[in-house]
Amino acid sequence: METLSQPSITKNRKQENGTRQIIGLFGFGTVGKGLYHVLGSSPTTKATIKTICIKNPDKERDINTNLLTTNAEDILNDPEINLVVELIDSATDAYHIVKAALLKGKSVVSGNKTMLAHHLEELIQIQQTTGAALLYDASACGSIPVIRNLEEYYDNDLLLSIQGILNGSTNYILSRIFQHGDSYDVALKQAQDLGFAESNPTFDVDGFDALYKLIILAVHGFGTYVHPKEAFHCGISKLNDHDIQYAREKGKKIKLVANLSKLDNGRFTLYVMPRLVNPDEYIYNVEEEYNGVVIEGAFYEKQFMFGKGAGGFPTGSAVLSDITARYHDYRYEYKKQRYFEPLTYTNKVIVEVYFRYTSPADLSHFEFEQISEKFSGKESSWLIGTIKLSALQKIQDLLPKLDVFLALTGRSE
């Protein structure tokens, strides 16, 4: 009788479970340093950082320089390193590093939502082929364990929606504006100085970052992957004093809200937009760099997860949770994708928005279904109207060039 050799999938998994983790770390910026500190303050963790790969060898660093390299191969080809932790700010480089590590059978922990939102399908496949695991709880909502929660709970038949504040920088900026009267530019600079913002803050303020996070949540919540190009997002970069005044007069705040909702006939939608938020909503009191996620189900109604969504220590602690999870051989099973009929994504959904504009030429790009209120002023005008997400999606690339601000009224959801 032929003896079957042990498949490498088992070998890789057994090697890590209960074995001291020897880490190769990519990136020593806000989150990399945060992890270094958190790991150093966690004596029970059975993990050691052996090598740190950075980009710029001339930067001053407050660590043992013997740990440093600029050559990725020093980590990828080191047989002693059994866990790669990827915390860099380039999505393209991160993709190559993560893919190479997984193909070599090394498990990976990453926080790179831009990279994940674009390559998750392929990276799931590679995990299944090589047996190496990829964990990334830090990639969505910083310290809040929302991905693992969605992965392990909520049969997708019961899960109705996930809504929330998924970006710490924009929430920080909006808090500073609404609560402290800071200007947009000053608040953005603070978010950058505090390490909350992405290297390119357009990702934060124009809603890309929240969309990437939402795409990851859709995979673990509903079992369906949506490419970022297919979904509508807009952000707060065009917010001005008129919008702030409008919200205040209505007794509301403006928050950047990510929405994932189950619809009828096996469909769901997802999008990211600013929204006028009422004082009786959970997310109304989510301030500064905190994030808040409201999970709604058929039988339990609402659950609310709240915690710091950005910053070196909170994110470093989420990365450490993934490192420890790998020590215990935890991996995402992608249960919703594997065991349930996946839902189909659609953007054929009508939303009601507050729309502020200056020039009628800008207004002409927007195909409103119905307009229920309209105000025309000398400096700016606004209207309340309904519009299809697909119509907004068509002008997605034009939006940053227009002097308009859009916010969901919250009435159509």
Active-site positions read: 213
Do residues 140 and 146 make contact, with C-beta atoms less than 8 angstroms apart?
Answer: yes
Q: How far, in Å, are 139, 150, 154, 219, 283 from residue 303 at the CA level?
A: 21, 12, 11, 19, 12
Count H helices, E strands: the chain? Answer: 15, 17
- Could you tell me the smallest distance in angstroms from the CB atom of residue 315 to ligand NDP? 4
| Pairing outcome for strands 68-69 and 47-53 | parallel
Determine if 123 is a binding residue for ligand NDP (CB under 6 A).
no
Binding mask 100-119 for ligand NDP (x = CB under 6 A): -----------xxx------
- Could you tell me the smallest distance in angstroms from the CB atom of residue 114 to ligand NDP? 6
Among 52, 197, 231, 349, binds ligand LTNE7NMQ (CB under 6 A): 197
- Could you tell me the smallest distance in angstroms from the CB atom of residue 308 to ligand LTNE7NMQ? 9
Beta bridge partners of 107: 83
Segment interacting with ligand NDP, rule: CB under 6 A, options 37-45, 191-199, 327-335, 396-404: 191-199
Among 31, 174, 216, 217, binds ligand NDP (CB under 6 A): 31
Among 163, 167, 259, 269, binds ligand LTNE7NMQ (CB under 6 A): 167
- 3-state SS of the chain: helix, strand, coil percent to 5? 40, 25, 35
Q: How many CB atoms lie within 10 A of CB 346?
A: 15
Among 195, 207, 221, 223, binds ligand NDP (CB under 6 A): 195
- Could you tell me the smallest distance in angstroms from the CB atom of residue 198 to ligand LTNE7NMQ? 5
The C-alpha atoms of residue 25 and residue 329 are separated, in whole angstroms, by 19
Binding mask 132-161 for ligand LTNE7NMQ (x = CB under 6 A): ----------x-------------------
- Pick between residue 210 and residue 407 the one whose CB is nearest to ligand LTNE7NMQ: 210
Cα dihedral: 377, 380, 384, 389 (round 10): 160
Q: How far, in Å, are 20, 53, 100, 294, 409 from residue 50 at the CA level?
A: 12, 10, 19, 39, 51
The C-alpha atoms of residue 91 and residue 227 are separated, in whole angstroms, by 15
133-172: which residues touch ligand NDP (CB under 6 A)? 138-139, 142
At residue 17, what are phi and psi to the nearest 5 degrees? -65, 110
Determine if 288 is a binding residue for ligand LTNE7NMQ (CB under 6 A).
no
The C-alpha atoms of residue 413 and residue 275 are separated, in whole angstroms, by 11
- Pick between residue 81 and residue 205 the one whose CB is nearest to ligand LTNE7NMQ: 205
Query: Which residues, other chains included, contact 28 with Cβ-Cβ below 8 Å and sequence gap of 6+?
Result: 36, 52, 54, 61, 63, 68, 87
- Could you tell me the smallest distance in angstroms from the CB atom of residue 191 to ligand LTNE7NMQ? 7
Determine if 242 is a binding residue for ligand NDP (CB under 6 A).
no
- From the list 132, 324, 412, 357, the residue with the least C-alpha distance to 242 is 357
User: Which residues contact ligand NDP by CB under 6 A?
Assistant: 26-32, 53-56, 59, 87-90, 93, 111-113, 138-139, 142, 195-196, 198-199, 310-311, 315
Instruction: Report the interface residues with ligand LTNE7NMQ, using CB under 6 A.
Output: 142, 167-169, 196-198, 204, 209, 309-310
